[in-house]
A and B are shown apart, each in its own frame.
Chain A
Amino acid sequence: MPLRTYQIALLFSLFVAPALPAQHANNEWPVYTDVSAALAANVPARQLSLRDRHLFSLPAGTEKLRQLTYLNLMRNELEVWDPQLTALRRLELLNLQENNLRELPESVGNLCRLKQLEVTQNRLKTLPDAVADLRQLAYLQAGFNELDRLPERLGRCRKLRVLNLQGNQLSRLPASLRRLHQLTHLDLSYNQLREVDLDWSGMKRLSKLNLEGNNLRRLPAAIGALSNLHTLILTGNELAELPPQLTDLTELKLLVLANNQLTLLPDDLSKLTNLRTLILTGNPLPAAEIERVRRALPNCRVR
């Protein structure tokens, strides 16, 4: 179908669509699905979903929806940031998943109430420094882009709880990440990391760290400072040895070391009393070493 015809039809449908409030199962406020209905609402619209609309830009008038807190633009054709977005200062959740965005502008920092930014599956090569101005941001989902670097100041997002960067091209991490004291989930899987030499001691609340599918040859001793870590996934790296400080992760319950180059594990595993599942498959570990590990971890399933 010619795009222009479609767009005309879409605009027409936006114009004639009834001003019906939509309700999702778990929202207190209606979720509008077209802009004209949202603009016509008696109570200013707070939520708008324009998912799956083949949009290359936002419909005219979107910027007037100043009370919007939720905007879902998932699976459209956005290649550039629509300037209208910058006007939506009250947004708390912005979903841009599965578009074709190549960059986010510095003006994203104006959306200072954002708690959740979802940009998974775009073509972003980096994130703007202004992301660091999103002081309320708790969830940043930026997996499956082309990110090869992160803003140095990213650690200023002090309220960040979940940082998902899987499936990018990252080869180094900004030192400021150590300031993410509230972070509980960090997913760096399927990047190009050769080392993760950070000061990990600041992430006191981190419970899950996924480093699967990188090129790590060693882990820093500092990783032992992650005192709340419950899950550590290291599948598919090039680890030939592990630092003894790994056993300082006394809260660890799941440790996945599959498909590395390990020939032995740290000598003293006695502190890993909470460990329940340990996956060692795909390592050149001698049978005697595996047996030693099993005996040292009687409450743990070792595979």
Chain B
Amino acid sequence: MHRFTGTFTLWRTALQFIPVCLLGATGLFAQVQGGGSAVPTCADGDAHLSCYTSIVPTAPTAKFILPHESHRFQQIHKEGTRYTIGGGIVPANHDFTAYLPIAGSSERGYLSINHETTPGGVSNLGVHYDATARLWRIDSSRAVNFSGADLVTTMRNCSGGVTPWGTVITSEETYTSGDANNDGYDDVGWLVEIDPATARVLEHGNGKPEKLWAIGRASHENATILSDEKTLFTGEDGTSGALFKFVADRARDLRAGKLYTLVLDEPMNGFEPAGTTGKWVEVPNATPEDRNNTRALAIALGATNFNGIEDVDVNPLTGQIHFASKGAGRIYQFTDGSKGITEFTTFVGGMSYSLNTVEGTVEEPWGIGNDNLVFDDRGNLWVLQDGDNNYIWTVGPDHTQEVPRVKLFSSMPIDAEPTGLTFSPDYRFGFFSIQHPAATSEPQRDATGDSIVFNLSSAVIFSRSGNLGEQAPVIDFISDLRIIQPGEIVTFSDVSTNGVENRRWVFDGGMPAVSTDSVVEVSYSEPGRYRVQLSVSNTQGEDSLSRLEYIEVERSTRVDELAERTHLSVFPNPTAGQLSIRMEDTAGEMLTFDLYDLTGRHLATLDHQSGTAGSRTWTYDVSPFATANQVVLQITVGRRVTRRVLQFIR
């Protein structure tokens, strides 16, 4: 999608015989009276990507804004950085940003990023999610090769689509004429299918990479392929403003099929549909001449001009097709069925909406420029805006213009537009780009914790805060004993997760009484029941835990008979992997050393043998069990048993 300028001059696209929409004719910012406020569709605690409180509407600022109470982002693949394969520098104007899973993974795949430049380009990245750091990593990056006599070039790679069979389609949003290689086809203005695994344009049976000629030539904005693996929708952000449907002859094969354009039964009334029905009119696409002139054929066959079609997407809950008209500032929806096109209506746009923000209810006009669209698994429509305030909106599955369900997710830095949102298969992560921000953008922190700045085009990954970057600690501790004798040593271990940078123990009645170590040996001299407290923190937050009467120091003289009789010693503890057990005078007894995890699951028997006279030390390598922080060593001598908790040193 090219930048929506305020001077989007309708006269330039005006066709003398097609009704021209006039701005303002239908009250672009009309306010619904008593329309009700947008209500959240998420229950409390719902961690779906679409669950957030609207940001406060704002004109673009020097920073990227998203709901920081619930979401985080990570900037990657910035313009000007180096490709890791084949050399070269990442070009500008990031556009469609497609996540393509490897084997269905939501944590390992390819990113295909269009560059809406002249000449254009497509970046191909191998990426994975580092679950420990909770950050995405780029494993490889390279440019898709469009040079050579077969393809000549590519230009203004705008949006695109991901096919159900795992390829990606890039859309050349241009209508520049010329046939440099004399193959009968104009060089640009096509959809192009790319294999993300090889970063190569697909061949279509002629022994050379080729563009998708049969879908026709236009200023293609996008491509959306249905799950039947045959039906493709694409729109023209150009003179015809037409919506196209291509039905392939065979599944997964886009080189041949029938092409249609949408003709409404009643012409548009300004930006609003006057009727609800329409039909698909077949557009010839048999010869190179037909295919080179799809735009002219659509106009000649009466294609309805929707004034700059941007993205098209299908609602996963209803199957209805939705598409954006940038010039109209509307998203239309219709049912495509056996009766042709029915239920054609305006889904969203053309008015103001009430937003429930952290600062209360705010009215905000939808404005112009709705551009990229994508549904999530719950039927929320995410709308990326190229115009007015360059927002990302979400529209709930139960939205109607009468009872709106609109929320505001994000605001772009000055001069930037959001482009090309896709999701991981589990809808935990969103992938999009921030195109052509101003050089004056200010630094901000992303999920890496580093200071970044949106002063050049880059891609962005966003998620719920818990999935990206360092997290606040989740506190917990354990001890090897809870009931002890006076003077007996208890070993406490901090088992908090997410990284602890600061720690403070308080052992009421213990010695020591306070500590900052992760593992602490404490003794208690007086009988009683004692509280143990632990506080931990890192840069993301803090947590504390207080356990009352956690340690009981017994008044009785109950002793560990086995330990006392054999002078049992288990060392070192904590251990890096080697474990020694020393006992005395065990002759005539059977000895068994077992390891259990903290849930009581038997891990291994270290030894089973007869005892010996005198003192003896047995030594074992227990490093294979160091995947847990602690294990329990059970020592059996004859019919007596005792246990020790082993702490592993990391």
Residues of A that sit less than 8 Å from B by CB: 1, 5-6, 9-10, 13, 18, 20-27, 30-31, 33, 49, 51-52, 72, 74-75, 95, 97, 121, 139, 141, 144, 161-162, 164, 167, 184-185, 187, 189-190, 208, 210, 212-213, 230-231, 233, 235-236, 253-254, 256, 258-259, 276-277, 279, 281-282, 301, 303
Contacts and interface: CB of A to CB of B under 8 A. Distances in A.
A1 B286 CA distance: 52
**Which 4 pairs from chain A and chain B are nearest by CB?**
A23-B88, A258-B300, A26-B147, A25-B121
B177 A162 contact: yes
B500 interface: no
Nearest to B92: A33
B117 A49 contact: yes
The winner among B91, B121, B292, B300 for most chain A CB atoms within 10 A is B300
B145 interface: yes
Given A9-B440, A27-B147, A281-B302, 18 more contacts: A6-B440, A13-B439, A20-B89, A23-B87, A25-B115, A25-B121, A25-B146, A31-B91, A95-B118, A164-B176, A184-B179, A190-B16, A230-B289, A235-B300, A236-B16, A277-B286, A279-B301, A281-B300
Contacts of A75: 2-3
B293 A231 contact: yes
A23 to B, nearest CB: 3
Interface residues of B, number: 52
Given A23-B87, A259-B17, A282 B119 contact: no
B91 A276 contact: no
B289 A212 contact: no
A253 B297 contact: no
B440 A1 contact: yes
B120 to A, nearest CB: 7
Interface string B143-166: 111110000111000000000000
Contacts of B77: none
A75 B439 CA distance: 16
Interface in B218-234: none
B122 interface: yes
Contacts of A31: 91
A249 to B, nearest CB: 12
B512 interface: no
Contact of B80 (A6, A22, A26, A74): A22
Nearest to B285: A277
A287 to B, nearest CB: 19
Nearest to B299: A235
A232 to B, nearest CB: 10
Given A13-B455, A20-B80, A212-B296, A26 B289 contact: no
B300 A276 contact: no
A25 B144 CA distance: 7
Contact of B301 (A51, A208, A281): A281
B436 interface: yes
A72 to B, nearest CB: 6
A149 to B, nearest CB: 19
Nearest to A21: B89
Interface-central residue, A18, A20, A23, by most chain B CB under 10 Å: A23
Contact of A51 (B117, B145, B296, B439): B117
B299 A277 contact: no
A23 B293 CA distance: 32
Contacts of B87: 23
B594 interface: no
Contacts of A121: 12
9 contacts: A5-B440, A25-B115, A27-B147, A51-B118, A95-B118, A189-B296, A254-B289, A254-B293, A281-B301
Contacts of B425: none
Nearest to A54: B415
Contacts of A254: 284, 287, 289-290, 293
B264 to A, nearest CB: 16
Contact of A208 (B88, B115, B292): B292
Nearest to A120: B176
Contacts of A301: 284, 286
A212 B436 CA distance: 35
A24 B118 CA distance: 9
Interface of B: 2-3, 12, 15-17, 80, 87-89, 91-93, 115, 117-122, 143-147, 152-154, 176-179, 284, 286-290, 292-293, 296-297, 299-302, 414, 436, 438-440, 455
B284 A22 contact: no
B284 A303 contact: yes
Give the one of A5, A25, A33, A253 with max B CB within 10 A: A25
A25 B178 contact: no
Contact of A25 (B92, B119, B292, B439): B119
A25 B147 contact: yes
A258 B177 contact: no
A1 B119 contact: no
A52 B93 contact: yes
Given A49-B117, A236-B17, A256 B179 contact: no
Contacts of A185: 177-179
A10 B301 contact: no
A190 B16 CA distance: 8
Given A23-B88, A72-B118, A258 B80 contact: no
Nearest to B60: A1
A48 to B, nearest CB: 13
B117 A276 contact: no
Contact of B436 (A10, A18, A52): A52
Contact of B177 (A33, A52, A187): A187
Contacts of B152: 26
A24 B302 contact: no
B118 A25 contact: no
Contacts of A276: 284, 286-287, 289-290
B154 A26 contact: yes
B290 A25 contact: no
Nearest to A95: B118
A162 B284 contact: no
A233 B293 contact: yes
Given A6-B438, A139-B178, A256-B297, A22 B287 contact: no
B317 to A, nearest CB: 37
Nearest to A23: B88
Contacts of B176: 141, 164
Contacts of B17: 213, 236, 259, 282
A270 B290 CA distance: 21
Nearest to B89: A22
Contact of A231 (B91, B93, B289): B289
B86 to A, nearest CB: 9
A200 to B, nearest CB: 19
A208 to B, nearest CB: 7
Nearest to B15: A213
A52 B153 contact: no
A20 B286 CA distance: 46
Contacts of A13: 439, 455
Contact of A256 (B154, B300, B455): B300
B287 A256 contact: no
